[in-house]
Structure 1
Amino acid sequence: MGIIKLKNIRTFSFHGCLVEESKIGSDYSVDLEIKTDLTTSCLSDDLKDTVDYVHLNKIVVEEMAIRSQLLEHVGKRIINRVFKEIPQITKVILGVSKLNPPIGGDVESVTIQLEENRN
């Protein structure tokens, strides 16, 4: 088994429960970690034998562009697509962070983390 991590995928998105958030948007950071068998790609040095992190990044960026009220909802959509489109992935750990959230305090970010194994 092996792990591939994409750290701090930055997007500007429009998630949130407040009407203002749907209009002005906010900065987000996504961390994605997947578990898969990397044995063959370690030997072959061929992209077809591994999980292409370009594909993973594309999934995150596309799903972050679709408005959700809750970070949990967009996170689950990302996980669902990863499992649907890349069958060799056995586990996903995902963190979605809203940077400088409008919560009436000096808070750098708020993050949800989801972890799911393929059924």
Structure 2
Amino acid sequence: MGKIVLENIKLFGFHGCMPEEKYIGSHYTINLEIEFDFNQASINDDLSKTINYVDLYYIVKEEMNINSKLIEHLAERIIQRIKKYKKPLVKYTKVKICKENPPLQGYVDRVCIILDDY
């Protein structure tokens, strides 16, 4: 068993329930962790036996382009796309999505959600 981790993916999106979030948008930071058996890939040096992290990045990027009211919903869509992409390999997926400078009446660096899928 092993993991692929994509850390601090920086993207811009239009997610949120407040009207200004749909027009102004926000910066987001996404972390992705995928656990799977990459024994065959490591032995054979074969990309087809692993999960391509470039593909993972593009899944996250594509889902970020689909507006959601809740970043929880966005995280679930990302997980479902990853499972569909390499279903037999994926054993565990964890997505952390942080909205930078959320529109609150106080100063908060970011608001984050974490979704795990076993």
Give the TM bin, normalised by the shorter chain: over 0.9
* Structure 2 equivalent of residue 55 of structure 1: 55
Aligned-pair identity in percent equals: 44
- Deviation of 1:47 (Å): 1.0
- Deviation of 1:46 (Å): 1.6
* Structure 2 equivalent of residue 39 of structure 1: 39
User: How is 1:1-119 mapped onto 2 (pairs within 5 angstroms)?
Assistant: 1-87=1-87, 88-117=89-118
**CA–CA distance in 1 between the matches of 2:92 and 2:65?**
23
**CA–CA distance in 1 between the matches of 2:115 and 2:31?**
11
Give the length in aligned residue pairs. 117
TM-score, normalised relative to structure 1: 0.96
Question: Please, which runs of 5 or more residues in structure 2 have no aligned partner?
Answer: none
Question: Please, which runs of 5 or more residues in structure 1 have no aligned partner?
Answer: none
Letter in 1 for 2:108: V
SS in 1 for 2:108: coil
TM-score, normalised relative to structure 2: 0.97
**CA–CA distance in 1 between the matches of 2:3 and 2:105?**
37
- Deviation of 1:38 (Å): 1.1
- Deviation of 1:29 (Å): 0.6
SS in 1 for 2:78: helix
- Deviation of 1:40 (Å): 0.8
**CA–CA distance in 1 between the matches of 2:106 and 2:77?**
29
